[in-house]
Structure 1
Amino acid sequence: MDTINKRQQRRGRFRERVWIESKLLWQIVGPAIFSRVSSYSMNVITQAFTSHIGDLELVSLSITNNVIVGFNYGLLLGMASALETLCGQAFGAKKFHKLGIYLQRSWIVLFLFSVLLLPMYVFATSILKWMGQPEDVAEQSGMVVMNYLRARMWVTVARTSQSKSPRNMMGLASLICVPSHRRA
């Protein structure tokens, strides 16, 4: 009888530990999930509504997403992901001074790299015409791509805050992006 009570106590403590760990995990994962879902939802929502407007607009949006924004976002996301690894290691090693240094340097590097990529947005119409796109599609894509600048500037903020621990900052960044994207 005594061993049955001990098993039940252990089982109860195990369930309690699992519940506590689960709550902590969701505090970390919740904002990250919201951030990812809202990021991908912006593209889905935009394409869904654009498909009702017309073929030219849908083609322009597709070219903008896949050619210009996809290329630039992929480069910046790759660089920000490297930052995430460095910041996570510094935070885990409790070298908080390194965390600040990595953050400052990465913002400078990503800002300068973004400035170098900015002409792809500004001259998107000319680039697409040079690549052989029809003039009306290139013109429309040039207008669409300028609206993506606001939504894509949160890459560094989201990645850095994900690795540092202010998880709510990631959710806040995503919460700001979705309504600003809707107005564009």
Structure 2
Amino acid sequence: MTYVASTAVLNGIPEGFSFNLVAIMNGSSGIGRLAAGIIGNRIGPMNHMIPSTIVSGLVILAWPAVRSQSAFIAVVVVFGFTAGSYSALLWQPILDLGDADELSRRVGIMMIFLACAGFLGPPTAGEVNNAAGMQAMTIYAGGCTLVGVALVLVARHMMLKKVFGKI
């Protein structure tokens, strides 16, 4: 969603309003973080993070079809909410994976992966956008998100060893 304001302008949304989309997304992210804490406590953080991140990936894939101001608002609200849920719950499974004496190692490994994604993701998406266009970029970004969800599903199954359960 790095390109939400510029994409809105390219689709005829007034420039002044297009930058408000970032603020709307951040506001809905805050609500998503609060809701994730409440829902995560009831059903388990991974059980909430998985469907939330699936919705986030689907919103990214649907982004090229967005043309109107109201559709942009809907996309940034849903994406902000789901991205906020992911951000709020990201660390809880890391804490639950094992003993407290290994926590710093697990957090360090997680930070390495997050740093690589943060440093490489936006420039790669930009190059895909420049070379192949917006639709290819959203397929790349949405695909990466959904592959990440698949890996979280595998980790959930390895931890829980059954289909249903709070985790």
What's the TM-score bracket when you normalise by the shorter of the two chains? 0.3 to 0.5
As a proportion of its length, which structure holds more helix? 1
Q: Report the structure number with the largest CA radius of gyration.
A: 1
Give the alignment's TM-score, normalised by structure 1: 0.34
